[in-house]
Amino acid sequence: MRASPSLTVQKAIRSRLAADAGVVALVPAAAIADRHGLPASFPSIVLGEDQEIPANLDLARRGTIVASTLHIWTREAGTAGAKAIVNAVRRALDVDLVLDSLDLVDQRVTGARFLRDPDGKTAHGILTFSTTVMEPLS
C-alpha cells in the first residue's frame, strides 16, 4: 500500500528543508517538524495542513495536487526574521523535490503571509506550496 500523496510530499519537503544550508542557518533541522500547537522552541518551521485535490491529468486519473501549508515561527517584535526564513524556504523549494513512489509534475510556492501574534513577541509566517504529482504507471 502506498503512502498518501500528501505524506510523501511532506516527507520530501522536510528532507529538503533540513538539508538546505540556507534554511538550517536560520532554523535548526530539529526544529522543522510536523507537530500541533505553538512550537517548543523558536525559530521553527511547522509542517502544517495539507489538501489533496484530484488533478485528472490523464484518463487513469493518477494525478494529485497537494496544497501544503508551512508555518514559520519566530520570537521578535517585527516580522523581519520570519520573512528571512520564508525567503530561505522559498529558495530551497525552487529545486525539484525528490519523491518516493510518485512522479513530480510541478511544484511552486503559491503565497506567503506574515502575522504578528497578539503577545507582542511572536511572529508567524505562513507559506503555501503546491505540488502536482502522479502515480507512476504500473
Q: Return the pLDDT at 8.
A: 96
Q: Phi/psi at 76 (nearest 5 deg)?
A: -165, 160
Q: Return the pLDDT at 60.
A: 65
pLDDT in tens, 29-53: 999 999 988 898 999 999 989 999 9
Q: Return the pLDDT at 61.
A: 73
Burial of 22 (0-12, 13-18, 19+ CB in 10 A): middle
User: Is residue 108 over pLDDT 90?
Assistant: yes
Contact between 31 and 44 (Cβ < 8 Å): yes
Answer whether 0.85 is exceeded by the pTM.
yes
* Domain boundaries, given as residue ranges, for the chain: 5-134
CA 85, 91, 93 angle in degrees (round to 5)? Answer: 105
CATH assignment of 5-134, among 3.30.2000.30, 3.40.640.10, 3.40.50.2300, 2.130.10.10: 3.30.2000.30
